[in-house]
Structure 1
């Protein structure tokens, strides 16, 4: 294993996130804070905060936005050596909308972005050298046909290298049709060692909102561990030896739910990297996901081990030194 090999590698698009400084319909908001957001880099940041060596690979525009994204992710402790800059395509941008009820939406400006031009030749085989996990989401294959090819290529490379694949369906309905989602994401999930769907994703991809049936459906297609995210109710874990519900961690109020699923993924992979069994890993994932909802922004609420231990009231004191 190379001395500087990351434990986990993530691949996907990260954009500049324009976060509103006031609530209300986006058309009436005039003040924004600039941040970064992207499911895969969020997971990498979450793992780094929890003390793991994590890498994020992508393509960014050779523009101020791209340099801001790379520097921000790298500044969070993530290995960005496999991030490249495209002189002919821009960095994507997204605007978040917040409502007083705590709900809102996200508006993307990513068509033709640098990341949508990713292809298998962009990433060397050494990307996976020494890694334990490769984490992918269903967003990347939706960006373009070359990104789709990249995801399937990486899954094959991971299998050849003995690297576990973690997959979060993370559906984006504005990027492609439901039929395309099913045709692409079900085979990817079936090739994964860990699948992390939400109930809505199970309903779209498998036609059921029952957590047990969702887990069974993915496992029957070849998936290893399936952890169904249940929001405030926690998670349902099926690792092949009987399913189990893992209660959620209550919070008084959700400030911003965006990014909670990525925090959950980071917490789960962190637990598995530490040798915890799937149920114990899901307990950690629930805690990280809950904390992520307490702050606006995709990564600002992701905790360190000390912060997670305090939040769980002493439940996880095995902080690595």
Structure 2
């Protein structure tokens, strides 16, 4: 069995503090993290691609080399003259992390300026994954255009997963956030909301309320995450179910949701039902958060998931 998975969004330069005056450079970003984990979970005959825009500068070259070395297909990535890639810095003070972002000149913000490229990018995929951040970095007209292109891709048999992954600072305001997440979910078969964000933005009282709202919008599968608590999932085949994770001591939750999305996507893509795929995804995320960093290759080497 083979197939094609595409993840769309923004990969950034990450500067993580390792000492009082030292930082380690890496590359990360929510949908890229999902692609990275999916590449390790899916059989080698599956194609895992990343869709974004980068610049023509040295750091863009280094990012592409990093993706290529990770086994991710970068052939469809578009390069934009005069732009580069975004950067974020993680600082640690008294054990608490804080983030600073520089992304105004990110080429990824211009993804939908070439809709011909977008249509080609989406064509022929078995699964496409995107997030609320993917939409938030685009102008409002770009969000609409991308979601319409996803609608057309679904008409040809492609399935779409959407991780709501709310970042308020990237949106124009709460109304834009609500509209963007609702439209993104309407373009998806599988929606992955986080309950705390749904409560804050939509006033949901329970995960069942979140499921009901996305079902009403047309989603075929909904998996509601709730931090370290149980997940609540729904599909027509399974009905509504609750699954509890194995208790672990988290070290770094940076990529908990991204790795969970990858585990779920890989399971569904290779024929697992939603409940089985979700259980496997919870195990993966539980392993990831016991290590530092967004990308944790050692869990695949040591078998501790």
- TM-score if structure 1 supplies the norm length? 0.86
Q: Of 76, 79, 86, which aligns to 2:80?
A: 86
Of 68, 71, 75, which aligns to 1:77? 71
CA distance in 2, matches of 1:62, 1:40: 22
Picking from 271, 281, 290, the partner of 2:267 is 271
C-alpha change, 1:66 and 1:50, in structure 2 (3 Å) is: same
Equivalent in the alignment of 1:118: 111
Once the 2 structures are TM-superposed, how far is the Cα of residue 174 of structure 1 from its aligned partner? 0.9
Aligned to 1:154: 149
CA distance in 1, matches of 2:201, 2:146: 18
SS of the residue 1:200 aligns to = helix
- Tell whether the 8 Å contact from 1:294 to 1:301 is kept in structure 2 after alignment: no
TM-score, reference length from structure 2: 0.90
Aligned to 1:41: 32
Q: Does the residue aligned with 1:94 lie in a helix, a strand or coil?
A: strand
Q: Please state if 1:250 is matched with 2:243.
A: no
Contact 1:197/1:228 (8 A) holds in 2:
yes
User: SS of the counterpart of 1:45?
Assistant: helix
Q: Which moved more, 1:115-124 or 1:242-251?
A: 115-124
Q: How does 1:171-182 map to 2 (within 5 A)?
A: 171-176=166-171, 177-182=173-178
Cα distance in structure 2, aligned partners of 1:105 and 1:188: 28
* Per-residue deviation, residues 128-187 of structure 1 (Å, max 9, x unmatched): 344221101011221131541442133123223210110011111111111101012112
| Aligned match of 1:60 | 54
SS of 1:311's partner is coil
Q: Which residue in the other structure is 1:13 paired with?
A: 10
In the alignment, what sits opposite 2:99? 106
Q: 1:228 aligns with which of 224, 233, 236?
A: 224
Contact 2:33–2:259 at 8 Å: present in 1 too?
yes
Partner of 1:169: 164
| Counterpart among 21, 32, 36 of residue 23 in structure 2 | 32
Look up the SS of the partner of 2:168 in the other structure.
coil
Unaligned runs of 5+ in 1: 23-28, 313-321
| In structure 2, distance between residues paired with 1:223 and 1:100 | 42
1:40-86 alpha-carbon deviations (Å, 9 max, x no partner): 11111110011343110110122122112111122111111111222
Given the alignment of the two structures, is residue 208 of structure 1 paired with residue 201 of structure 2, yes or no?
Answer: no
Contact 2:164–2:192 (8 Å) recurs in 1: yes
- What are structure 2's unaligned runs of at least 5 residues? none
RMSD of Structure 2 on Structure 1 (CA): 2.1
- Give the equivalent residue in structure 1 for 2:281: 285
